[in-house]
Amino acid sequence: MKETTKGCPVCESNRTGYEFQVGIRRIERCQECNILFERSLFPDNRTRHLNENLRKPSVVTPVIESEAKVSLCIERLKNRGMQQSDRLWVGGNGYIRFVDCAKESGFEVADIDFESIGANTVDTCVLLDILGESSNPLEQLLSVREVLKPDAILLITVPTLDSDEARQQKSRWDQFSTGRMTYFDRHGLSALLVRVGYGRIKMYSETDGVIVICQKEICRNDRPLLSIVLPVYNERATFEQLIKSILEKKFDTVDREIIIVESNSTDGSRELVQSYEARSDVKVIYENKPQGKGHAVRNGLNHASGSMILIQDADLEYDIEDYDALLAPIVSFRRLFVLGSRHKGHWKMREFEGRNLLSGVFNFGQLFFTWLINITCGTQLMDPFTMYKVFHRECLYGLELESNRFDLDWEIVIKFVRKGLVPMEIPVNYVSRSFGEGKKVRLLLDPILWIIALLKFRYGLLYSNTTCERR
């Protein structure tokens, strides 16, 4: 793909390239955030601005095409905290229908032009099918953010590249003929919202796109906090070397805290962990008994304060020097979810000295279960089982993690993918330790748990706190 010199309108990356052309319209793809956008051949004539489109009907097939779905959106807003005393503003395709329904439900809708709205005055804002009709959706969302009160609710409907309609028509999706300028998948849209300062994001799939409900958040620190979650159980041989390496690691773009979860080790690991309790940048959580890696990680996540999270095992199979590459797309908001792939570029086989059969079983299992998760989830991952999972805290919003053992790896990947957060895989260094050095996977139990996890988390409810949501 030939790269251009002009950047992406969403993440501002220069890694963009030609995808295809419809008439005089050149469609390019950003290789960082994966959105498609129109590279205007006549920018003076084709540039659109937010204020020009908020009250202008679009020819796009509406994401909300019925009164029932409008009513459902009103109910979702009410469930999110919208009060009848709130100041509600609605704009975009089909706004009259939405306004009428809101008024019937007892809400007072602000009937003024967007440019007349003062800063920090709107409690709830609804944008119907207009995000991306400007050449600068980043600017659109920033403009909207200015008029919202703190913790105000924003509802967006937008056609997406991973909608049912788009999947059926692939790259020749009919929405390309409508004059839109930016085309999102759900991950790119989520990343954009987080970057601009929206959080607590939930997305609801519709045939032609998604309905997004999020909230305005307080502006973040220039140096975000990274929480490194480190589960420890019987890792005396490697723990101290690892923790010293992490503490000595220099971070250019983030501050860091280390969350150590010690699961009552029997080899002296707890005593080593206790020696780090006094450090201000280390939190130590003690579990009374080992309940599995997944349980320890979930415990660590509950105590993490950072806006970004990295999961780190207490062994030395992975190289912490890969942190920089893993964090780069997270810090830049080009991605919300990254996997450190052991196999991207070169397959790194497990080799247990003197136990070739066992090595073969592990490697075959890795291939089989990777294939299984790709088939069922529609992904093309190389290493969903990697320990290195790095993500924005926002990815966890609305989800309840349940797994206690290694099936947590499946649960995180499956639930994030179902939210539209398909991970970017980044190659990492990996040296497998021997089976005798501490492999805790149980050859009979854990594969069964993985199958159960696949069925439960792929086909069960995604958001467990409400019953009215379409999956």
* CATH number, domain with residue 79: 3.40.50.150
Q: Are residues 322 and 233 in the same domain?
A: yes
Cα three-residue angle 101-206-111, rounded to 5 degrees: 30
Mean pLDDT of all residues in 27-36: 87
Domain finish residue from 185, 216, 247: 216
Give yes or no for residue 36 having a pLDDT over 80: yes
Kindly give, in sequence order, each residue whose CB lies less than 8 Å from that of residue 13, ignoring residues fewer than 6 positions away. 7, 30, 31, 32, 33, 332, 334
- pLDDT tens, position by position, 186-225: 999 999 999 999 999 999 998 888 999 999 987 666 789 9
Q: Is residue 103 part of a domain?
A: yes
CB atoms within 10 A of CB 465: 11
Percent of all residues in the chain with a pLDDT value above 90, rounded to a whole number: 55
| pLDDT, the chain, mean | 85
> 211 and 274 share a domain?
no
Residue 328 pLDDT: 95
Alpha-helix residue ranges (DSSP H) falling in 202-256: 236-248
User: What's the pLDDT band for 132 if we cut at 50, 70, 90?
Assistant: confident
pTM higher than 0.85? yes
List b or e across 25-39, with b for residues whose CB sees 16 or more CB atoms inside 10 angstroms: bbbbbbebbbbbbbb
Q: Which residues on adjacent β-strands are paired with residue 231?
A: 261
- What DSSP character marks residue 443? T
Same domain as 375, residue 249: yes
Check pLDDT > 70 for residue 2.
no
pLDDT of residue 51: 46
Q: Which CATH number characterizes residue 407's domain?
A: 3.90.550.10
The mean per-residue pLDDT over the stretch 149-174 comes to: 83
Q: Looking at the structure, do residues 205 and 334 belong to the same domain, yes or no?
A: no
| pLDDT confidence tier of residue 441, bands split at 50, 70 and 90 | low
Average pLDDT over residues 414-436: 85
SS3 content of the chain, % helix, strand, coil (to 5): 35, 20, 40
Please indicate, yes or no, whether residues 175 and 243 belong to a single structural domain of this protein. no
3-state SS assignment for residue 309: strand
Which residue, of 177, 192, 216, is where some domain finishes?
Answer: 216
- Main-chain dihedrals φ then ψ at residue 411, nearest 5 degrees: -60, -45
Kindly give, in sequence order, each residue whose CB lies less than 8 Å from that of residue 173, ignoring residues fewer than 6 positions away: 161, 165, 166, 183
C-alpha 148/C-alpha 215 separation (Å) is: 9
Q: Which residues of 275-297 are buried (b: 16+ CB within 10 A; e: fewer)?
A: ebeeeeebbbbebeebbbbbbbb
End residue of a domain, out of 216, 245, 262: 216
**Is residue 390 located within the same domain as residue 265?**
yes
**Are residues 426 and 292 part of one domain?**
yes
Q: Tell which wins on pLDDT, 262 or 59.
A: 262
Do 240 and 205 lie in one domain? The reply is no
Report pLDDT digits (tens) over 277-296. 999 999 999 999 999 999 99
44 pLDDT higher than 60: no
Instruction: Give CA–CA dist 124/118, Å, rounded.
Output: 14
Name 198's bridge partners: 216
Which 8-state DSSP code applies to residue 118? P
The pair of structure tokens assigned to 407 is 């099936």
Q: How many domains does the chain have?
A: 2
Q: In this predicted structure, what is the pLDDT of residue 351?
A: 57
Q: Which carries the bigger pLDDT value, residue 41 or residue 18?
A: 18
pLDDT in tens, 351-395: 555 556 666 676 777 889 899 999 999 999 999 989 999 999 999
- The pLDDT of residue 272 is 96
Same domain as 282, residue 424 = yes
Q: Are residues 306 and 454 part of one domain?
A: yes
Query: Are 276 and 371 within one domain?
Result: yes
- 261: Cα separation from own chain's centroid: 24
Confidence of residue 171 (pLDDT cuts 50, 70, 90): low
Give the Cα separation of 458 and 466 in Å (integer).
Answer: 18
Structural domain of residue 154, as residue ranges? 53-216
